[in-house]
């Protein structure tokens, strides 16, 4: 790529950055928690249409993806699960095609009084944009879109197909990205600007979600002995799961990308509910667990071990022995994925292109990181033979309170993305 | 009392018993959980009015009882908390006045699939009536009413004031009974047919309810270390509370009525809720606790110790040390009460009258029991100088599934109650 084009792309990103921040603020104001993404998707679809992209907007059909590798079970209906894809077709395709992927769904805000300002009323302060989803990952959706805008402002368009994806379900199943694959959207590479501090993600963990349902026939509280309480019966099960977590993290189980991490795999009891009345011995309790696994660790074996651990602990409990827990899978069946293990020429050239774009945009070498979360990258990398580059801005407190994203970082990532697109896809005049 | 009257009362109870069971079925069909007692109270009021009693129906005014001894804190509004009292005034008062008290509120049914038949569709099978509240204590409300009916069927009425009370809030605060006191309903004795197997309750425990609210600023699940989880932070607090429970139950702390019980005081974690998302480290958790105390154990000292135990345990926890729990009292501040400690002549004569009525109705001596629950008896006994006789039918699985009440036991209690009223109040022709 000519230095001249690099400079021009940087200039137009700068020139349009106030507009980009306003766009990000408006997008972040849509409270697009799971099931509530419609207004945010409407906004994305209208922004794409206004730019002249062909817009594909559809409801995920579980029956159409259930049989595919990477599918995660879902409990509820998918009537409210809508993906949006904006399609750019080159006039004279010459370069390599690209998927620009981002998820529109955000995790719940949690107790509002723990936020310094309302989570869905984004504000900018001292270079940070605050708000739920601002970092994870609406800033990435914005940088994808405004990187394309930057090319256009230079009188250019990608010389290959580009699919701009705004997907749901990243935070619980990944079925949104999977539905894009099933609908036929494939390309030579994918870029996903998840907020990992401008580092290239070389590996990500797998994640399993499960619920443990406890139920039994307790005595009246006035006659309650110990151990007959469905809430307290959960405690030894959680203890046993933590022992499993400890075993899974043992040095001998770690792949190379995670060899240096003592505790990459986290087990999280994310939710609990039980009992109906203070003076009744609770007859039921449900708790939700997220457990991570290493790339290469098979989901089925992991599930078998989780079930074994829970049942073994239950059999040692007076209350549970006669009413064994029910285990319900209510989300992620996500395998781990390591870009570092992709030895294809396509992967090497995509990484090289991003290396160079990042260097040009920031003046620094692109750092690498193995992350302890999952992303939608796995669908492209594992099931579509497509190298997936996870590379996005710096954010803090994602899934926490006062989530915020560093706007100068967003600016740099937008520039790097524009240069990456121009390099990877090539350009044609518009 | 003449043997002839005893026989006549028994005969008319028998003659009306099918009607009484139908009444109990209809009353049990009203799902009068806390806040939903209105239709059941409408039914009670109309049944009382149809019998010619003056009916007093009023909404509890918290401001009017807040300052009274025995008041328990409430979190919600009391717009839906309505008491009903049916009033009988003797034409020529000659005997001792009487309060016939029962509570209309029932505890939640819990998971419906654990019931063999729907909890609010009562059914009779093999001599038992099944349904939530059938035993605790709508059978008692029915026996109070049909005992009065029995006198009437014999052409008699009590020769003293009788206040038939159908109160709310017994299961969480007792403020319904307290509001009756505050409204001026006092008498020479009270009878409360709570379902304790036709035994006279000689002592009951006190009960305190509290909620523990945990909140903090956790990390993203991908970086979660141990101990930063609001749900799991609850576990050591619950453990510490059980140690306190153990200390309180020590032999040296037991009053005479409970000297033989190793574990009269039960701590129950009745409800828990925490977290919003499986993959977010939970920032909050709330659990509800019921703890019992012995008669004579002061509420304030008990609360101080509970708070101390919770705070001490919290200070040992990395997560909680910087965000100490909040303790909210959301119900019972109930002192214990022991009829056995009431050395008044009034108490002795009331007990003697019940002894005799029970002997006449059942052919057996009246057994005594110190119970490990609380009842509204404390208001009459502790704050109104009124001996309160807790004596009602046999029931099973109260607060549990398939709650049921023994109908032959209800019949016997109704007979005994009719004879007790006739003896205690005397009778006059109608």
Q: How many Å is the Cα radius of gyration of chain A?
A: 23
* Structure token pair of residue A95: 């370069």
Q: Which residues of A touch B271 (CB under 8 A)?
A: 231, 274-278, 282
Determine the residue of chain B that is closest to A396 in CA distance.
B220
Domain A206-334 has CATH 3.40.50.300: no
Question: How many angstroms separate the CA of residue B313 from the nearest CA in chain A?
Answer: 17
Contact (CB<8Å) A221/B268:
yes
Determine the residue of chain A that is closest to B278 in CA distance.
A270
Q: Which of B225, B280, B285, B306 to mutate to test the interface with A (most CBs of A within 10 A)?
A: B280
Determine the residue of chain B that is closest to A33 in CA distance.
B277
Q: Which residues of A touch B278 (CB under 8 A)?
A: 172, 209, 268, 270-271, 288-290, 330-331
Contact (CB<8Å) B218/A280:
no
Contact (CB<8Å) B217/A282:
no
Contact (CB<8Å) A282/B270:
yes
Question: How many angstroms separate the CA of residue B90 from the nearest CA in chain A?
Answer: 39
Contact between residue A225 and residue A317 where contact means Cβ atoms under 8 Å apart: no
HSE-up of residue B178 (Cα within 13 Å, Cβ side) = 27
Of A222, A287, A372, the CB nearest to B223: A372
Flag whether pLDDT at A227 surpasses 50: no
Pairing of strands B326-328, B284-293: unpaired
Digit-coded pLDDT (tens) for A349-407:
999 999 999 999 999 999 999 999 999 999 999 999 999 999 999 999 998 899 999 99
Supply the pLDDT for residue B219.
56
- Provide long-range contacts, Cβ within 8 A and 24+ apart, for B254-259: B254/B294, B255/B203, B255/B294, B255/B295, B255/B296, B255/B338, B256/B340, B257/B202, B257/B203, B257/B295, B257/B338, B257/B340, B257/B370, B258/B203, B258/B294, B258/B370
Q: Which residues of B touch A285 (CB under 8 A)?
A: 272
Flag whether pLDDT at A314 surpasses 80: yes
Rounded Cα gap, residues B423 and B147, in angstroms:
13
Band of pLDDT at residue A224, cut at 50, 70 and 90: low
Angle between helices B234-248 and B299-315 (to 10 degrees): 140
Distances (CA, A) of B44 to B138, B162, B181: 11, 16, 20
Rounded Cα gap, residues A212 and A199, in angstroms:
36
Contact between residue A371 and residue A204 where contact means Cβ atoms under 8 Å apart: yes
Contact (CB<8Å) A232/B331:
no
Q: Tens-digit pLDDT profile for chain B (430 aa)?
A: 788 999 999 999 999 999 999 999 999 999 999 999 999 999 999 999 999 999 999 999 999 999 999 999 998 788 889 999 999 999 999 999 999 999 999 999 988 988 999 999 999 999 999 999 999 999 999 999 999 999 999 999 999 999 999 999 999 999 999 999 999 999 999 999 999 999 999 999 999 999 999 987 665 566 555 447 899 999 999 999 999 999 999 999 999 999 999 999 999 999 999 999 999 889 999 999 999 999 999 999 999 999 999 999 999 987 788 889 999 999 999 999 999 999 999 999 999 999 999 999 999 999 999 999 999 999 999 999 999 999 999 999 998 899 999 999 999 999 999 999 999 999 999 9
Band of pLDDT at residue A319, cut at 50, 70 and 90: confident
**Residue pairs between chains A and B whose CB atoms are closer than 8 Å:** 210
Determine the residue of chain A that is closest to B292 in CA distance.
A222
Rounded Cα gap, residues A232 and B270, in angstroms:
10
Distances (CA, A) of A343 to A186, A339, A351, B2, B392: 19, 9, 11, 103, 80
Supply the pLDDT for residue B216.
72
Contact (CB<8Å) B266/A221:
yes
Give the residue range(s) of CATH 3.30.70.360 domains in chain B: 206-334
The three-point CA angle A397-A170-A376 to 5° equals 100
Q: Which of B226, B239, B270 to mutate to test the interface with A (most CBs of A within 10 A)?
A: B270
Q: Which residues of B touch A372 (CB under 8 A)?
A: 222-223
Q: Which residues of A touch B395 (CB under 8 A)?
A: none
Contact (CB<8Å) B232/A221:
no
Give the residue range(s) of CATH 3.40.630.10 domains in chain B: 3-204+337-429
Flag whether pLDDT at A219 surpasses 70: no
Phi/psi-derived region of residue A45, left when phi > 0, alpha when psi is between -120 and 50, beta in every other case: alpha
Contact (CB<8Å) B275/A270:
yes
Would you identify the CATH topology of the domain A3-204+337-429? Aminopeptidase (3.40.630)
Of B111, B220, B371, the CB nearest to A222: B371
Determine the residue of chain A that is closest to B238 in CA distance.
A232
* Structure token pair of residue B122: 């009562």
Within 8 A by CB and 6+ apart from B168, the residues are B34, B37, B41, B60, B81, B82, B83, B103, B104, B105, B176
Q: Which residues of B touch A223 (CB under 8 A)?
A: 266, 372
Flag whether pLDDT at A220 surpasses 60: no
Q: Which residues of A touch B280 (CB under 8 A)?
A: 107-108, 110, 268, 270, 399-400
Of B219, B288, B398, the CB nearest to A220: B398
Contact (CB<8Å) A278/B287:
no
Of A109, A277, A398, the CB nearest to B270: A277
Classify residue A68 as exposed, middle or buried by CB count within 10 Å of its CB (0-12, 13-18, 19+).
middle
User: Three-class SS string for chain A?
Assistant: CCHHHHHHHHHHHHHCHHHHHHHHHHHHHCCCECCCCHHHHHHHHHHHHHCCCEEEEEECCHHHHCCCCCCCCCCCCCCCCEEEEEEECCCCCCCCCEEEEEECCECCCCCHHHCCCCCCCCEEECCEEECCCHHHHHHHHHHHHHHHHHHHHCCEEECCCEEEEEECCCCCCCHHHHHHHHCCCCCCEEEECCCCCCCEEEEECEEEEEEEEEECCCCCHHHCCCCCCHHHHHHHHHHHHHHHHHHHCCHHHCCHHHCCCCCCCCEEEEEEEECCCCCCCCCEEEEEEEEEECCCCCHHHHHHHHHHHHHHHHHCCHHHHCCCCEEECCCCEECCEEHHHCCCHHHHHHHHHHHHHHHHHHCCCCCEEECCCCCCHHHHHHHCCCCEEECCCCEECCCCCCCEEEHHHHHHHHHHHHHHHHHHHCEEEC
**Once rounded to an integer, what is the mean pLDDT over residues A278-300?**
95
Supply the pLDDT for residue B315.
94
* Structure token pair of residue A417: 């993305």
Distances (CA, A) of A135 to A3, A390, A396: 30, 14, 7
Question: How many angstroms separate the CA of residue B112 from the nearest CA in chain A?
Answer: 11
Query: Which has more pLDDT, A178 or A320?
Result: A178
Rounded Cα gap, residues B78 and B261, in angstroms:
37
Q: Name the nearest CA neighbour of A424 among A155, A96, A162.
A: A96
Contact (CB<8Å) A269/B107:
no
Contact (CB<8Å) A108/B224:
no
**Once rounded to an integer, what is the mean pLDDT over residues A193-210?**
98
Of A207, A270, A275, the CB nearest to B280: A270
End-to-end CA distance of chain A: 18
Band of pLDDT at residue A228, cut at 50, 70 and 90: confident
E strands, B82-218, in order: 82-88, 98-103, 123-125, 128-130, 156-158, 162-167, 189-192, 200-204, 206-215
Determine the residue of chain B that is closest to A277 in CA distance.
B270
> Would you call B245 helix, strand, or coil by DSSP?
helix
Contact (CB<8Å) B401/A217:
yes
Determine the residue of chain B that is closest to A235 in CA distance.
B235
Determine the residue of chain B that is closest to A329 in CA distance.
B278
Contact (CB<8Å) B224/A275:
no
Q: Which residues of B touch A224 (CB under 8 A)?
A: 266, 268
> Would you call B417 helix, strand, or coil by DSSP?
helix
């Amino acid at each position: 790529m000519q230095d001249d084009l690099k400079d021009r792309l940087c200039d137009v990103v700068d020139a349009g950055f106030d507009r980009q921040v306003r766009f990000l603020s408006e997008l972040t104001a849509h409270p697009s928690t799971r099931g509530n993404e419609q207004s945010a998707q409407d906004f994305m679809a209208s922004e794409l249409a206004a730019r002249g992209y062909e817009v594909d907007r559809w409801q995920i059909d579980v029956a159409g993806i259930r049989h595919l590798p990477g599918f995660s079970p879902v409990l509820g209906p998918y009537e409210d699960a809508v993906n949006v894809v904006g399609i750019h077709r080159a006039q004279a395709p010459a370069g390599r095609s690209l998927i620009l992927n981002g998820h529109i769904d955000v995790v719940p805000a949690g107790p509002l009084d723990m936020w310094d300002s309302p989570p869905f009323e984004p504000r900018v302060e001292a270079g940070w944009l605050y708000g739920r989803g601002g970092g994870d990952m609406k800033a990435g959706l914005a940088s994808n879109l405004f990187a394309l805008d930057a090319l256009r402002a230079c009188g250019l368009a990608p010389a290959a197909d580009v699919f701009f994806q705004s997907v749901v379900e990243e935070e619980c199943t990944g079925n949104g990205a999977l539905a894009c694959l099933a609908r036929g959207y494939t390309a030579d590479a994918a870029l996903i600007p998840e907020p990992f501090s401008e580092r290239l993600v070389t590996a990500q963990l797998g994640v399993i979600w499960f619920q443990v349902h406890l139920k039994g026939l307790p005595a009246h509280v006035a006659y309650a002995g110990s151990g007959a309480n469905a809430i307290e019966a959960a405690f030894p099960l959680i203890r046993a799961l933590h022992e499993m977590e400890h075993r899974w993290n043992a040095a001998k189980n770690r792949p190379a990308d995670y060899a240096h991490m003592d505790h990459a795999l986290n087990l999280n009891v994310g939710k609990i509910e039980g009992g109906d009345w203070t003076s009744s011995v609770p007859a039921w309790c449900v708790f939700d667990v997220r457990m991570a696994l290493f790339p290469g660790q098979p989901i089925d074996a992991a599930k078998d071990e989780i079930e074994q651990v829970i049942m073994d602990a239950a059999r040692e409990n007076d209350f549970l022995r006669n009413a064994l827990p029910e285990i319900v899978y209510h989300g992620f069946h996500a395998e781990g994925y390591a870009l570092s293990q992709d030895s294809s020429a396509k992967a090497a050239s995509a990484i090289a292109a991003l290396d160079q774009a990042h260097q040009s945009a920031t003046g620094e070498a692109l750092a690498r990181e193995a992350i302890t979360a999952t992303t939608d990258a796995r669908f492209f990398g594992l099931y579509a033979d497509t190298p997936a580059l996870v590379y996005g801005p710096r954010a803090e407190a994602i899934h926490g309170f006062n989530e915020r994203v560093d706007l100068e970082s967003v600016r740099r990532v937008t520039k790097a993305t524009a240069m990456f697109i121009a390099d990877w896809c090539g350009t044609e005049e518009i």
